[in-house]
């Protein structure tokens, strides 16, 4: 029996109607509750009065005079609220300004307390602007975290619009779990050397991607503050625990529960096929898709309902339009795929792919070569760069956890790439992939089809040395023998890079956060994002100052001349962290001792070494051994690099100290 397809909608509406999803409007606030304040839409669990919010943490105070919304009953202005578990607030920028004689004209150091909510570690950055500036953000109430960066430049010509890599502008990431923060900004020379084009320093936390550095900001910074993203969650229990209390459980019908990844608590999402507010009863409504009405009729029924010529014309026209729509869609898809493939090929060429392939082909077949992965492979490995796969975030990029070739890997996605340095990048990848050292994180491969290259490393899952030293629980549990062994392994890795690798490598950012630990607490030096290669016939290179505040070699800072002794200085600071359990930079110490290096040198002069050692180190370490490590650290921290030991010498002395031998200097 022949079936006829009968369309009774107007033919030109056919293509449009097939793609339209119609959602029944659902209220976002509780019934009878105000749902706006100024330009802000306020969804439950937030609300402006009692009975309209879940608990006091979700109170939004709407100022009657200004019609502006504020978080709880404080002074933090709310810009936007999302049911995805995030909200935006306005956060002030810190600044300090000087006159031509170096006298401070004004300064402002804001602090913010967030109570229940936390700064999003994946959506914000800490940025400092200035040519004579260093800044840090820290815990206002205690010493649970501190991070910062420095920005140096001597001429306006050296500054590049849009670049925030340490010349006129620097940036770093925000750690997890931050609930309050204080921003401090200051300068080295009170801006006297750059006064003609930069009299002030500025620092601020800002939503990632919002601020773009401009050279004009050095002369006249126009912004008083920026949007900052907070993470919010319900309660302080995970989903499994929260479900046990059915009365307090916040996820309503047709919704699912998700554990928060930045603080205790959970979030609710409407289930697949539903949309709305999952925190309201019957708040998740089914999504209804409008489609063309189609009926199937037999030839006999058609005979009983004779079609007019006009009806037949409409049927023919609509069929033609439908066919044309399918053809256009298919052609458009094909053109789009071709465009994407052409872009991948262009990125591959621009990122040095052909040259790197040629270099890798020269490596002996018996050696394990680095692989060149496709963008599709990397996307699949990271679930399309899903935020849940993020395991680290810094000023130079984001690190994702993934699986490639059935192995756990860490995939580093850089924030920017200077394509004028692409030849150097290719050479560095070629060298790094050949480093075979048990205490260096192995480079497995790269992906060059993206706008910036992606680096694929072996995955090391036991966090960083910084975490295990300074974490309140883990720091006190690390034995002195383990600390000393980690120091030896790290020194061995750096010595190998300085002397034994195919070409000398200066790490340039040695710090406890860049020393990963595996499950056996074996050290793995990581993060070569700012490393430099030094030709075998050279002892130093002139380069822009980069590194981390508290670890940077002061001689390198003043001269911009980088050599292997710069890594020795930074390693000396790591030794101090292992000995004392204190951070490289801390505002809890007096101003003259904020730097751990300065604090340590002063303590050694006053013969107070055993007063500043970590309690467990002091109790477990042999006194002669501890003195030996401290004296070695002191030599690593000498102001003149030529007077510091080499990393080979450092490694050798640490090994002798670990074996209980006395080292005579």
pLDDT digits (tens, 9 = 90+) for 28-53: 899 889 989 998 999 999 999 999 99
Lateral strand order in the sheet of 225-231: 78-82, 86-92, 225-231, 118-119
* pLDDT for 17 beyond 50: no
Single out the residue of 129, 109, 128 nearest to residue 197, CA to CA.
129
Structural domain contains residue 381: yes
Lowest-pLDDT range, 1-10, 97-106, 533-542? 1-10
Grouping H, G, I as helix, E, B as strand and the rest as coil, residue 592 is helix
Query: Do 601 and 612 have their domain in common?
Result: yes
Query: Do 428 and 506 have their domain in common?
Result: no
pLDDT for res 630: 96
pLDDT for res 141: 65
Structural domain contains residue 356: yes
Query: Do 434 and 357 have their domain in common?
Result: yes
Domain containing 173 equals 88-231
pLDDT for res 12: 38
Structural domain contains residue 339: no
Pick the more confident residue, 329 or 536.
329
Q: pLDDT band for position 517 (50/70/90)?
A: very high
Last residue of a domain, one of 459, 494, 521: 459
Query: Do 219 and 275 have their domain in common?
Result: no
Last residue of a domain, one of 434, 459, 484: 459
Q: pLDDT band for position 384 (50/70/90)?
A: confident
Structural domain contains residue 346: no
Per residue in 241-291, pLDDT tens? 999 998 899 999 999 999 988 888 999 999 988 999 999 999 999 886 544
Q: Count of domains in the chain?
A: 5
The reply, when asked if residue 648 is annotated as ligand binding, is: no
Mean pLDDT, the chain, integer: 82
Per residue in 606-622, pLDDT tens? 999 999 999 999 999 99
For residue 532, give Cα distances in angstroms to 59, 118, 154, 317, 560: 51, 36, 22, 67, 13
Helix ranges (H only) for 282-405 are 299-304, 309-350, 353-360, 375-381
Q: pLDDT band for position 118 (50/70/90)?
A: very high
Q: End-to-end alpha-carbon separation of the chain, Å?
A: 102
Structural domain contains residue 243: yes
* pLDDT for 294 beyond 90: no
Question: Annotated catalytic, 55?
Answer: no
Grouping H, G, I as helix, E, B as strand and the rest as coil, residue 609 is helix
Q: pLDDT band for position 303 (50/70/90)?
A: very low
Query: What DSSP letter does each residue of 17-35 carry, written as one string?
Result: HHT-EEE----SSPTTS--
pLDDT for res 326: 78
Q: pLDDT band for position 24 (50/70/90)?
A: very low
Query: Do 207 and 148 have their domain in common?
Result: yes
Query: Do 176 and 118 have their domain in common?
Result: yes
CATH number of residue 537's parent domain: 1.10.510.10
pLDDT for res 539: 52
Query: Do 366 and 511 have their domain in common?
Result: no
**Catalytic annotation, pick one of 132, 217, 509, 567:** 509
Query: What's the rounded mean pLDDT across residues 76-81?
Result: 94
Query: What's the rounded mean pLDDT across residues 626-655?
Result: 95
pLDDT for res 572: 96
Q: pLDDT band for position 417 (50/70/90)?
A: low
pLDDT for res 396: 62
Q: Which residue has the tokens 């109607």?
A: 17
Q: pLDDT band for position 346 (50/70/90)?
A: confident
Query: Do 93 and 149 have their domain in common?
Result: yes
Query: Do 507 and 584 have their domain in common?
Result: yes
pLDDT for res 640: 92
Structural domain contains residue 328: yes
pLDDT for res 307: 57
Query: Do 450 and 487 have their domain in common?
Result: no
For residue 173, give Cα distances in angstroms to 399, 454, 648: 12, 19, 33
Query: What's the rounded mean pLDDT across residues 7-29?
Result: 45
Per residue in 494-507, pLDDT tens? 999 888 876 778 88
pLDDT for res 364: 59
Query: What DSSP letter does each residue of 448-497 carry, written as one string?
Result: -SSSS-EEEEE---S-BHHHHHHSTTHHHHS-HHHHHHHHHHHHHHHHII
pLDDT for res 661: 60
- Most confident option among 345-349, 413-417, 500-504: 345-349
Last residue of a domain, one of 334, 360, 395: 334
Structure tokens at 483: 């600390």
Query: Do 507 and 635 have their domain in common?
Result: yes
Query: Do 210 and 244 have their domain in common?
Result: no
pLDDT for res 623: 92
Structural domain contains residue 503: yes
* pLDDT for 521 beyond 80: yes
pLDDT for res 288: 62
With a pLDDT cut of 70, the percent of the chain lying above it is 84
In whole angstroms, give the CA distance from residue 61 to residue 81. Answer: 14
For residue 59, what is the DSSP state? B
Query: What's the rounded mean pLDDT across residues 511-536?
Result: 77
Single out the residue of 24, 23, 14 nearest to residue 293, CA to CA.
14
Query: What's the rounded mean pLDDT across residues 147-176?
Result: 86
Structural domain contains residue 343: no
Query: What's the rounded mean pLDDT across residues 100-125?
Result: 87
In whole angstroms, give the CA distance from residue 424 to residue 429. Answer: 9
């Amino acid at each position: 029996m022949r079936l006829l397809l009968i369309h009774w909608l107007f033919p030109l509406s056919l293509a449009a109607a097939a793609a339209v999803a119609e959602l029944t409007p659902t209220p976002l606030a509780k019934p009878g509750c105000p749902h706006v304040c100024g330009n802000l839409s306020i969804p439950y669990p937030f609300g402006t009065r009692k009975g309209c919010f879940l608990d006091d943490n979700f109170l939004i105070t709407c100022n009657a005079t200004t019609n502006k919304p504020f978080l709880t009953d404080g002074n933090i202005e709310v810009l936007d609220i999302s049911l995805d578990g995030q909200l935006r607030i306005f956060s002030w920028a810190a600044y300090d300004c000087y006159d031509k004689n170096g006298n401070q004209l004004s300064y402002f150091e804001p602090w913010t307390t967030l109570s229940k909510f936390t700064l999003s570690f994946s959506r914000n950055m800490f940025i400092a602007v200035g040519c004579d500036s260093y800044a840090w953000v820290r815990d206002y109430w205690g010493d649970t975290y501190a991070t910062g960066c420095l920005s140096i430049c001597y001429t306006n010509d050296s500054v590049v619009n849009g670049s925030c890599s340490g010349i006129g502008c620097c940036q770093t990431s925000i750690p997890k779990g931050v609930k309050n923060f204080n921003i401090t900004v200051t300068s080295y020379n009170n801006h006297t050397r750059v006064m003609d084009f930069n009299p002030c320093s500025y620092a601020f936390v800002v939503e990632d991607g919002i601020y773009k550095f401009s050279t004009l900001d050095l002369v006249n910074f126009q912004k008083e503050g920026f949007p900052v993203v907070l993470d919010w969650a319900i309660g302080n229990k995970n989903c499994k625990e929260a479900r046990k209390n059915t009365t307090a459980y916040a996820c309503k019908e047709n919704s699912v529960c998700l554990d928060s990844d930045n603080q205790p608590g959970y979030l609710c999402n409407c289930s697949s096929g539903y949309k709305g507010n999952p925190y309201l009863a019957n708040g998740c409504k089914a999504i209804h898709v409008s489609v063309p009405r189609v009926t199937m009729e037999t030839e006999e029924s058609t005979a009983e309902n004779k079609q007019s010529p006009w009806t037949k014309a409409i049927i023919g026209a609509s069929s033609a339009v439908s066919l044309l729509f399918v053809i256009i869609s298919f052609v458009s898809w094909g053109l789009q795929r071709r465009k994407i493939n052409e872009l991948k090929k262009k990125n591959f060429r621009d990122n040095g792919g052909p040259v790197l392939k040629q270099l890798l082909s020269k490596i002996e077949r018996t050696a394990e070569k680095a692989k060149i992965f496709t963008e599709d492979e990397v996307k699949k490995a990271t679930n399309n760069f899903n935020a849940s796969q993020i395991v680290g975030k810094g000023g130079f990029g984001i690190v994702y956890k993934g699986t490639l070739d059935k192995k756990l890997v860490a995939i580093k996605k850089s924030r920017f790439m200077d394509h004028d340095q692409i030849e150097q990048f290719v050479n560095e990848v070629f060298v790094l992939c050949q480093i075979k050292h048990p205490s260096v994180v192995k480079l497995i491969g790269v992906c060059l089809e993206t706008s910036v290259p992606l680096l694929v490393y072996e995955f090391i899952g036991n966090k960083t040395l910084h975490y295990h030293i300074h974490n309140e629980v883990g720091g006190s549990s690390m034995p002195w023998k383990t600390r000393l062994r980690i120091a030896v392994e790290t020194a061995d890795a750096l010595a190998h890079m300085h002397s034994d690798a195919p070409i000398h490598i200066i790490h340039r950012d040695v710090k406890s956060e860049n020393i990963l630990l595996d499950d056996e607490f074996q050290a793995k030096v990581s993060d070569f994002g700012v490393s430099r290669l030094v030709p075998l016939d050279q002892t130093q290179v002139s380069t822009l100052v980069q590194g981390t505040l508290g670890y940077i070699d002061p001689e390198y800072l003043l001269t911009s001349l980088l050599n292997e002794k710069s890594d020795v200085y930074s390693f000396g600071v790591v030794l101090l962290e292992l000995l004392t359990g204190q951070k490289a930079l801390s505002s809890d110490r007096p101003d003259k001792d904020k730097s751990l290096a300065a604090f340590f040198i002063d303590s050694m002069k006053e013969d107070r070494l055993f007063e500043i050692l970590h309690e467990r180190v002091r109790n477990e370490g042999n006194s002669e051994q501890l003195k030996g490590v401290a004296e070695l650290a002191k030599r690593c921290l000498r102001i003149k690099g030529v007077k510091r030991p080499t990393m080979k010498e450092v490694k050798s002395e640490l090994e002798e100290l670990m074996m209980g031998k006395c080292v005579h200097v």
